[in-house]
Chain A
């Protein structure tokens, strides 16, 4: 049985274009981009081209893009630069690489306000504005949520922050390549990106730094990336990231429409077969490829395993440090009851997802849900 992969929010398969660019750079471009000679120049050319590709997809200027090891490093970089007397406003449904940084901030001195979201997963702009206080140095809200795919009104939030002189950070790891982005038009100071979420290599990402935004490097010891991120550049990974961005950008409009239709058909099928299934998060402001559903009376953890044994890869969305599953903190923050938060399944589609695959999922899922329910009630 051919496996069906519906966990693109965890990581997406490498795009062929990214693999080719990665392999070409790994095989041929071994020079250090800091070197004066021709080998260095060749590496610099690869970096430059990829920087343009990433910047184009994000809708920003190339020189504002700093390559990092991934969105986690990008998020960490922004938070580590905060001074000790500061106040930060952070959305309660952020990725752990933001939430744990916010928790660490608390220990160092800065105050942190966790911003509540509604049952649809969205931040209320009025509530956001009210959370901003004199002395608020940073507000951080992800563009699209890693579990539910819910999209925040980032332009509006960033404007509200800018009007109060508050710097704004946006984790766009799940959104890049899935939505048309025009970051340049918004008063967003920093944005985080990840390559492997859109079919680039792992271990590479970027941080957008708006011209004029303050910046403090996390890694020091060299003038790489205009002094913003020390360490010899991972040229093959950067090349793969760039190629993945270009490919994702070229396919974006058609692909977003295609996967949204597939996702909607999947949800319609689930709702028909399992009438008490509950779709989590906004149905309207959501990434086109994400579907988060709770099956009442089911352990999401067990359902993920049952599907895996039938060669269907999905996620509960929330893995804890030991590899077992906690009730999703994102869903809990949305006010989803504990029992439903433990019963959630995250399905995230991608470029290789087909209608036939989803048909097979719809054939399997109702029986597996029934089996897991029966076993629990036994």
Chain B
């Protein structure tokens, strides 16, 4: 049956092919590029790559080639409020945020989903590498994609289950190389476009530089880098922006040293030797579970994107949090990152929470 689908088109090859696949399946596809505005512009100022408007032009060109409608939608204020401002605030508080997760939940799978409804569309499709399929207990579940190297389920762990029947991930069953091949076959302008890396509004990966541009008012005073047990080993130019487990940029002798803790209130970065950073347990807050309740029994979990999962158990705590006990220690869990949980088969996303502290 022909359905109207809204496709979030970033101007990259993945969402281009997602749109093409739905169109080829006979659906009425409406491409929408989100104009995320000044937050991005400010952060990419001075960088050669600009992720803002040229990408909308690419998306428009692909849409024209596919013969589908395309709109550019203004979500500047929402992106600033829901993604950029919390990103700055989290770093200021000494945490390590992952803005992509909020962008997915709020921008793509809430605001854009509402726009789909406003436009009479069945739902929102994106170029994410993830799958939606029948869950064992009934209903729909979120699963790892066929291409494990491109797996983006970590960034989707807190989607409410209620949206899954209005979301489509057309690339879930494909390998990335097939996606590129399809883009070439269709002659799409984005077929050879390089992968976007890292955060869209920090394309050069320089988080500390981006923080300086996004929050010029923030103090970036020099402060001590100290070992956990006391001695000052060096100096930094502002604690915000460091992340636990980080090794580069410390400039310390007698290493290797790793960031163990960021205390922005005291403008202090604490460092430790490698093994001390491993943790057998994390405490998470604002947990969300796709099945409506925390999983009982053994699960798989990871505390950062691209980390190998380890066996774990989840113990709910009061106030909507949980403790995760790992069968083997995990490397440098960072407050502000997500601890994401899959089923024991490591296939289906069960949910997760935001890391408050290790141990």
For residue B139, CB closer than 8 A to chain A, the reply is no
Total A-B pairs, Cβ < 8 A: 58
Query: CA–CA, A306 to B115, complex, Å?
Result: 9
B72, A323: Cβ atoms closer than 8 Å? yes
Query: CA–CA, A299 to B52, complex, Å?
Result: 22
B118 contacts across to A, CB distance below 8 A:
299, 302-303, 305-306, 371-372, 375-376
B117, A326: Cβ atoms closer than 8 Å? no
List A residues 307-332 near B (Cβ within 8 Å). 308-309, 320-326
Q: Closest approach, in angstroms, between the C-beta of B141 and any C-beta of chain A? A: 23
B115, A375: Cβ atoms closer than 8 Å? yes
Given A308-B69, A326-B74, A374:B117 Cβ within 8 A: yes
For residue B173, CB closer than 8 A to chain A, the reply is no
For residue B236, CB closer than 8 A to chain A, the reply is no
Closest 4 CB pairs of A and B: A375-B117, A324-B74, A375-B118, A323-B72
A378, B114: Cβ atoms closer than 8 Å? yes
9 A-B residue contacts at CB 8 Å?
Answer: A302-B73, A302-B118, A305-B71, A305-B119, A306-B120, A308-B69, A320-B74, A322-B35, A323-B71
List B residues 71-112 near A (Cβ within 8 Å). 71-74, 76
Given contacts A306-B118, A326-B74, 4 further A-B pairs with CB under 8 A are A320-B35, A324-B72, A324-B76, A371-B120
Query: CA–CA, A303 to B52, complex, Å?
Result: 24
A322, B114: Cβ atoms closer than 8 Å? no
For residue A233, CB closer than 8 A to chain B, the reply is no
Partner of B35, one of A299, A309, A323: A323
Residue of A nearest to B28 (CB): A309
A322 contacts across to B, CB distance below 8 A:
35, 52-53, 56, 72
A309, B73: Cβ atoms closer than 8 Å? no
For residue A246, CB closer than 8 A to chain B, the reply is no
Interface size on B, residues (CB 8 A): 20
For the complex, would chain B's binding face be called helix, strand, loop or mixed by DSSP majority? Answer: mixed
For residue A73, CB closer than 8 A to chain B, the reply is no
Query: CA–CA, A376 to B162, complex, Å?
Result: 17
Q: Closest approach, in angstroms, between the C-beta of A327 and any C-beta of chain B? A: 9
Given A323-B60, A323-B72, A309:B114 Cβ within 8 A: no
Residue of B nearest to A325 (CB): B74
Q: Closest approach, in angstroms, between the C-beta of A185 and any C-beta of chain B? A: 44
Q: Closest approach, in angstroms, between the C-beta of A363 and any C-beta of chain B? A: 15
For residue B250, CB closer than 8 A to chain A, the reply is no
Residue of B nearest to A306 (CB): B119
A325 contacts across to B, CB distance below 8 A:
74
B120, A309: Cβ atoms closer than 8 Å? yes
A376 contacts across to B, CB distance below 8 A:
114, 118
For residue A189, CB closer than 8 A to chain B, the reply is no
Residue of B nearest to A305 (CB): B71
A375, B114: Cβ atoms closer than 8 Å? yes
B119, A324: Cβ atoms closer than 8 Å? no
Query: CA–CA, A302 to B75, complex, Å?
Result: 12
Query: CA–CA, A33 to B102, complex, Å?
Result: 62
For residue B4, CB closer than 8 A to chain A, the reply is yes
Partner of B119, one of A302, A323, A374: A302
With most chain B CB atoms within 10 A of its CB, the pick from A303, A324, A326, A378 is A324
A309 contacts across to B, CB distance below 8 A:
4, 30, 69, 119-120
B72 contacts across to A, CB distance below 8 A:
322-324
B71 contacts across to A, CB distance below 8 A:
301, 305, 308, 323
B115, A302: Cβ atoms closer than 8 Å? yes
Given A305-B71, A308-B69, A309-B69, A324:B117 Cβ within 8 A: no
B120, A378: Cβ atoms closer than 8 Å? no
Q: Closest approach, in angstroms, between the C-beta of A370 and any C-beta of chain B? A: 10
B4 contacts across to A, CB distance below 8 A:
309
B53, A321: Cβ atoms closer than 8 Å? yes
A302 contacts across to B, CB distance below 8 A:
73, 115, 118-119
Q: Closest approach, in angstroms, between the C-beta of B162 and any C-beta of chain A? A: 11
Residue of A nearest to B6 (CB): A305
B53 contacts across to A, CB distance below 8 A:
321-322
A324, B73: Cβ atoms closer than 8 Å? yes
Residue of B nearest to A298 (CB): B118
B117, A301: Cβ atoms closer than 8 Å? no
Query: CA–CA, A376 to B56, complex, Å?
Result: 24
A320 contacts across to B, CB distance below 8 A:
35, 74
A306 contacts across to B, CB distance below 8 A:
118-120
List B residues 105-153 near A (Cβ within 8 Å). 114-120
Q: Closest approach, in angstroms, between the C-beta of A127 and any C-beta of chain B? A: 32
B74, A371: Cβ atoms closer than 8 Å? no
A301, B74: Cβ atoms closer than 8 Å? yes
With most chain A CB atoms within 10 A of its CB, the pick from B4, B71, B76 is B71
Query: CA–CA, A308 to B115, complex, Å?
Result: 14
B73 contacts across to A, CB distance below 8 A:
301-302, 324
Q: Closest approach, in angstroms, between the C-beta of A320 and any C-beta of chain B? A: 7
Query: CA–CA, A321 to B56, complex, Å?
Result: 11
Contact bitstring A50-65, B, C-beta under 8 A = 1, else 0: 0000000000000000
